[in-house]
Amino acid sequence: MRVLIFGGDGYLGWPTAMHLSAGGFEVAVADSYLRRRLCEEVNAISLFEVPDLQERTTAWQAASGFNIKVFIGDLNEWEFVETIFRTFTPDAVIHYAEQPSAPYSMFNRRAAELTLKNNLGVTLNLIFAVRKFCPNTHIVKLGTMGEYGTPDIDIEEGWLEVDHKGRHQKFLYPRQAGSLYHTTKIMDTDLLWFYVRMWNLRVTDLMQGPVYGLFTNENENDERLFSFFNYDEIFGTVLNRFVVQAAAGYPLTVYGKGNQTRGYLNIKDTLNCIRLSLLHPAEIGELRIFNQFTETFSVNDLAKMVQETGNQLRLNVPIQHIENPRKEAEEHYYNPKHSGLCELGLKPNYLTSEILGQMIEFALRHKNKIILDQIFRKVKWV
* Interface ranges with its own copies (CB under 8 A): 78, 109, 112-113, 116-117, 120-121, 124, 128, 151-154, 160, 162-165, 167-169, 171-172, 174-177, 180, 183, 186-187, 190-191, 193-194, 197-199, 327, 333, 381-382
User: For residues 208 and 95, is the Cβ–Cβ distance under 8 A?
Assistant: no
End-to-end CA distance of the chain: 46
Query: What are the DSSP calls for 297-328, one per residue?
Result: EEHHHHHHHHHHHHHHTT----EEEE--SS--
- Residue type, position 120, single letter: L
Count the neighbouring beta carbons within 10 Å of the beta carbon of residue 163. Answer: 8
Q: How far is the CB of 340 from its own copies (least distance, A)?
A: 18
| CB of 143 closer than 8 Å to CB of 213 | no
Minimum CB distance to its own copies smaller for 52 or for 113: 113
Q: Which residue from 147, 211, 148 is spatially nearest to 181, judged by alpha carbons?
A: 147
Tell me how far, at minimum, the Cβ of 82 lies from its own copies, in Å: 10
* Annotated catalytic residue 173: no
Q: 238-248 and 353-365 are packed helices; what angle lies between their axes, rounded to 10 degrees?
A: 60
Of 8 and 146, the one with the shorter C-beta distance to its own copies is 146
Q: How far is the CB of 92 from its own copies (least distance, A)?
A: 21
Residue 327's closest CA among 375, 263, 256? 256
Cα(236)–Cα(219) distance, integer angstroms: 20
Residue 80 vs 193, nearer CB to its own copies: 193
Is 181 catalytic? The answer is: yes
| Shortest distance, position 72 Cβ to its own copies, whole Å | 22
Catalytic-role residue among 181, 195, 212, 334:
181
By beta-carbon proximity to its own copies, the closer residue of 168 and 378 is: 168
Give yes or no for a contact between 135 and 91, defined as CB atoms under 8 angstroms apart: no
Q: Which of 144, 189, 216, 253 is catalytic?
A: 144
Catalytic-residue membership of 69: no
Q: Least distance in Å: CB of 118 to its own copies? A: 11
> From the candidates 137, 150, 184, 185, which is the catalytic residue?
185
Are the C-beta atoms of 282 and 288 separated by less than 8 Å?
A: yes
Minimum CB distance to its own copies smaller for 59 or for 172: 172
Active-site residues: which are they? 144, 181, 185
